Amino acid sequence: MRIGILGTGNVGRALAAGWLRAGHDVVLGSRRPGDEELLTELKELLQAGLRVEDPAGTAAHAEVLVNATPGTASVALLDSIGAPALAGKVLLDVAVGFLEDESLSHPVVSLGEEIQRAFPETRVVKSLCTIDREVMVAPQSLAGPSTLFLSGEDAEAKRVVGGLLSDLGWPAEALLDLGGIATARGQEHFALLFVGIALSTGTFAFNIRVVPPAAPDVQG
């Protein structure tokens, strides 16, 4: 599958490496695609088949576009690409926005919702924003099974994203569909608890698991 990842930070690079290993055609989107320092930093990924394009070229390439940009800048970057270029595409939004005081930039309406409202013809799916980049691409590194969430309006788009998550190692039973894009609020707000857990445990390499109630003890 042709995957375009907007954002060249740690999350974008980790996801690019994971999907390259799975055999996907991956382009990384940058405002400075010809920057020598950036290309040097990406040397191993480039050798593995990664290409670097500007944001518009990345979107044009992609069957699935991934937003891994800072959440405070995401909508402006997508605006620069333009709604017509994004129409009909699946957009996997993994970003969370933080302000300088470490509060959320989207305390009422989530970034995922904002993107969906700004680009109604784009099929937005929110996922992967409740875990660290290392766990995103290596769920098997955890001590046991855990839960990954999906939010979005389009069932087929969620199915496509689920397939890409499977290619990163996430089993189907780990995926929990929360419903429409409004449920992305819960995913993004988890970032505050995530930071607290990380500081308490001394690691970002963890996840949570939704544990259902035990089956009733039926007496014969």
Specify whether the backbone of 77 is left (phi greater than 0), alpha (psi in -120 to 50) or beta: alpha
Is 78 part of a structural domain of the chain? yes
Is 121 part of a structural domain of the chain? yes
* pLDDT score of 220: 56
Q: What is the domain count for the chain?
A: 1
Is 219 part of a structural domain of the chain? no
Is 207 part of a structural domain of the chain? no
CB 136 within 8 A of CB 109: no
Tell me the per-residue pLDDT of 62-87, one tens digit each, with 9 for 90 and over. Answer: 999 999 999 999 999 999 999 999 99
C-alpha separations of 130 from 94, 146, 206, 207 in Å: 9, 11, 10, 8
pLDDT < 70: residue spans in the chain: 219-220
Give residue 80's domain range: 2-201
* pLDDT score of 216: 86
Q: For residue 202, count other CB atoms closer than 10 A to its CB.
A: 6
* pLDDT score of 180: 98
Tell me the per-residue pLDDT of 94-115, one tens digit each, with 9 for 90 and over. Answer: 999 999 999 999 999 999 999 9
Is 206 part of a structural domain of the chain? no
Is 168 part of a structural domain of the chain? yes
Give the whole-number percent of the chain exceeding pLDDT 70: 99
Task: Provide the token pair at 205.
Answer: 């390499």
Task: Residue 81: give its domain's CATH number.
Answer: 3.40.50.720
Q: Could you tell me which of 30, 157, 185, 178 has the C-alpha nearest to residue 96?
A: 185
Could you tell me the pTM of the whole model?
Answer: 0.95
Is 73 part of a structural domain of the chain? yes
Is 211 part of a structural domain of the chain? no
